[in-house]
Chain A
């Protein structure tokens, strides 16, 4: 099928299979490889992107369901410099191997945009769908809390 997606602000027209995963369309058709595949079953959050402003696992979205929608990937969070949240991950040691990092940052940005107070509990709930096997999460939580202090 032919469909249009608004990817990171620009409209792209694509010829794709309707049940192809949004994740594969991003990585294979649009060469946006910042979005990672972890589990492929909605457990790990490595493939998290924003679909019409909502956090989703792109491995569970059939691309036909994204037709006409707006998608923001890790590449689209900022057009040039790092975002305050990305800078926080650098400064606070929020990334190690890096596989979970794009999903963590997209989920973390979602949390910052929600305006909720950045308590431990609230931040941990916001990233509960994102698995990290390196950091033990503490530095990721600190990164998000640091960004919340910097930007609010």
Chain B
């Protein structure tokens, strides 16, 4: 039997993190970890579970110092219904509505999506494009890591063994627009085949592009950004950024073609006269 420590405050959580029990896993809403436990995947590597679901200080959405701050345990449902998110960062509310369906949205958390660090995590390209920052905390103190430096390799993150993700901070987009498109088999309950997010200022002077499901990590696409800002061949540049694989959800060819189509469409819809070079 795997021992579980359920905590209600951060100091309680930090006390366990400081002890560093072997094989410690953090449990929030359970929409990823419980799937793995039910399937008995990697069960032998789980030595102890830290259940943080009831840590209230990790919930909530606030606007402060030009940042939209979202507690790591904030659920998709809370994001979908937040007036602040819908006015300041509507794309985040929209993508949350495409995660699973109601029962998943009631339990799944933004922090869980980040820490699970799947390349298919639906919110993650948006966080990269939005230049989100992650506040990490533990017994040694707190630090901030930008989204782009958080995802290191397949399912490997910058989160220390004695750290928790506390909060996600979004710089307000000001004049920039943030948009995304998820491509899945059906509208609900589908894991993406590809997901592209773009943040751009008018005239595409500043562009940030990120993609999901097309690399081992949620990926910032710097070559595509450069091409978009300089009027270059975005389609060709994106192909150099991404490295999709064949799996049960899609193929390399489909992911390459559709990712580029979606990206060009998103850039076009940013309200600028943008030509579509190299369209097959």
Q: Tell whether, in the assembled complex, residue A56 and residue B106 are in contact, meaning their CB atoms are under 8 Å apart.
A: yes
- A interface size (C-beta, 8 A): 31
Assess whether B153 is interfacial by the CB under 8 Å rule.
no
CB nearest to A110 among chain B residues: B102
Assess whether B27 is interfacial by the CB under 8 Å rule.
yes
Q: Are A60 and B35 also in contact (CB < 8 A) when A18-B4, A65-B6, A128-B187 are?
A: yes
In the complex, chain A residues whose CB is within 8 Å of the CB of B189: 43, 128-129, 131
* Interchain pairs with CB closer than 8 A, number: 90
Map CB proximity to A onto B204-246 as digits: 1 under 8 Å, 0 otherwise.
0000000000000000000000000000000000000000000
CB nearest to B36 among chain A residues: A41
- B interface size (C-beta, 8 A): 29
Chain B residues proximal to chain A, CB less than 8 Å: 1-4, 6, 27, 29-31, 34-35, 37-39, 49, 51, 53-54, 77, 100-104, 106-107, 187-189
Q: Are A42 and B100 also in contact (CB < 8 A) when A61-B34, A67-B6 are?
A: yes
Selected contact of B34 from candidates A62, A107, A128, CB within 8 Å? A62
Query: In whole angstroms, how far apart are the Cα atoms of A91 and B53 in the complex?
Result: 41
Q: Closest CB of chain B to A74's CB: distance in Å? A: 14
Q: Tell whether, in the assembled complex, residue B104 and residue A129 are in contact, meaning their CB atoms are under 8 Å apart.
A: yes
Query: In whole angstroms, how far apart are the Cα atoms of A17 and B34 in the complex?
Result: 14
Chain A residues proximal to chain B, CB less than 8 Å: 1, 17-19, 21, 40-43, 45, 48, 54-57, 59-62, 64-65, 67, 107, 110, 125-131
Q: Closest CB of chain A to B120's CB: distance in Å? A: 14
